Structure formats: structure tokens, C-alpha cells
């Protein structure tokens, strides 16, 4: 399915902030930004998952649809909302949090992005605490213009969580905490080595 809008300027010309969507930005003294460009009702649960990873450690950006459906979806390679770009481009690394349809696989977190070593370490950490991950899928997040790859290092990580897993986080605080801690602690450990 193609997007209705090809850029934020197009979207802003047809939709009203505060009515159709809202934007949350929390800047922290951190080289890491966690972004949910399809939050709210676009890809349900991604804003909450991004906030879970960011905790009170990393900067956070969420573009949140306030209307049902995917009409506010701008693909990650064209996501150019100015506040998102300002935050990400002033950070070393961005972590993009997305939602995907289950399509027969309700458990596997698809990992992508150009920061392959961090991607792989996050995958290993998630596997250690009981989650299933894969880098063998069609949502690789490799485009240089992808919001996750627009930090100063020009390489970030993309997480695609199936809907059933996102929904399970609502009722399972242990899984939610294990996921958030695994991702956050790995980022802290791996980026402190650079």
C-alpha cells in the first residue's frame, strides 16, 4: 500500500496538528534518539515501546496519529518532519521503532538499519531474554534517508515489532520491562565502547 503523503509538508497541508496528529519531543543529554515515526493510531503501541526504550536515558520523538488507519503514514525513507530531523541529526545514533503486521509470525522482531554491529548486539540481547529476532526479511532499513540512519554516524537501528507482541506488552509488564532493558542496556554498553 502506498502512502497518501510523500513528505511532512504534504501531510501538514492536508492535516491539522492537534486534531489529526500530535508530535512529542523529549530532548535529553544523550547521543541516542529513539524515534517512533508511526506512533499513536498509525502503528499502535510503537510510541509506548519507544518511550519504554528511551526511559529517562535517551531522547525521544513520537509522531502520533490521532485518527484510525494508515493515512498519516510516511515511509521511513521519506520521513522528514522538521522536529524529528533536528533531534536525530543532532544525535549520534537513532533507533527507529516500528510496527508490522503479524502475517503468520506473531513473535519475531525484525531488525534492520545501517549500524549492523549494534543491530546484531541488540538482537543477541533480545534473544537472551526470550525474544525471537531476525535480520532476514524485507524491511531492512538500509536507505540512507531512513530516519534511523540520519544521525551523525549515518547508521542506526530499526526495530519492527509484530502487532501481537506490541499488544502483549500491555498485559505483560515482565516482558515489557525485559524488552526495554535489553535494548536500552545494549545501546548504553555498545555506544560507550566507541
All three cell numbers of 160, joined, read 519492527
Please return the burial class of 187, using the count of CB atoms within 10 Å of its CB with bins 0-12, 13-18 and 19+: buried
For cell 549520534, what's the residue?
A: 92
Q: Which pLDDT does position 192 carry in this prediction?
A: 86
Task: Give me the pLDDT at residue 123, please.
Answer: 98
E strands in 52-136: 59-65, 93-100, 108-112, 132-134
Question: According to CATH, what is the number of the domain 8-187?
Answer: 3.40.630.100
Let me know: does 157 contact 122? Beta carbons within 8 Å.
yes
Q: Which helix (H) or strand (E) holds 32?
A: strand 32-40
Compute the distance between CA of residue 117 and CA of residue 157 in angstroms, rounded to an integer.
10
Chunked in runs of 10, what are the mean pLDDT values of the chain (194 residues)?
91 97 98 98 97 98 95 96 98 98 96 98 98 96 97 98 96 96 97 79
Residue 193 confidence (pLDDT): 77
Q: Where are the domains of the chain?
A: 8-187
The dihedrals phi and psi of 117, each to the nearest 5 degrees, come to: -65, -45
Query: In terms of pTM, does the model score above 0.85?
Result: yes
Closest CA to 41 of 77, 10, 15, 70: 70
The grid coordinates of residue 181 equal 532493558
Q: Distance (Å, rounded) from C-alpha 32 to C-alpha 180?
A: 15
**Residues in a beta bridge with 26:** 60
| Structure confidence at residue 176 (pLDDT) | 95
Rounded CA-CA distance 167/137 in Å is 22
pLDDT the model gives residue 1: 61
Please give the Cα distance from 187 to 76 (Å, whole number): 21
Whether residue 65 contacts residue 20, with contact meaning beta carbons closer than 8 Å, is answered with yes
Amino acid at each position: 500500500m502506498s502512502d497518501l503523503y510523500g513528505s511532512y509538508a504534504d501531510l501538514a497541508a492536508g492535516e491539522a496538528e492537534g486534531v489529526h496528529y500530535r508530535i512529542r519531543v523529549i530532548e535529553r543529554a544523550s547521543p541516542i534518539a529513539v524515534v517512533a515515526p508511526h506512533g499513536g493510531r498509525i502503528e499502535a503501541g510503537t510510541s509506548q515501546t519507544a518511550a519504554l526504550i528511551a526511559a529517562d536515558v535517551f531522547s525521544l520523538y513520537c509522531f502520533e496519529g490521532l485518527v484510525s488507519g494508515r493515512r498519516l503514514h510516511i515511509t521511513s525513507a521519506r520521513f522528514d518532519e522538521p522536529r524529528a530531523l533536528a533531534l536525530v541529526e543532532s544525535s549520534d545514533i537513532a533507533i527507529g521503532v516500528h510496527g508490522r503486521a503479524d502475517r503468520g509470525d506473531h513473535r519475531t522482531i525484525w531488525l534492520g538499519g545501517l549500524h549492523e554491529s549494534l543491530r546484531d548486539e541488540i538482537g543477541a540481547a533480545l534473544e537472551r531474554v526470550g525474544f525471537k529476532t531476525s535480520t532476514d526479511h524485507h524491511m531492512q532499513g538500509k536507505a540512507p534517508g531512513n530516519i534511523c540512519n540520519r544521525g551523525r554516524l549515518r547508521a542506526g537501528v530499526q526495530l519492527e515489532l509484530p502487532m501481537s507482541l506490541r499488544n502483549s506488552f500491555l498485559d505483560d509488564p515482565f516482558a515489557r520491562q525485559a524488552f526495554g532493558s535489553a535494548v536500552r542496556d545494549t545501546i548504553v554498553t555498545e555506544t560507550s565502547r566507541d
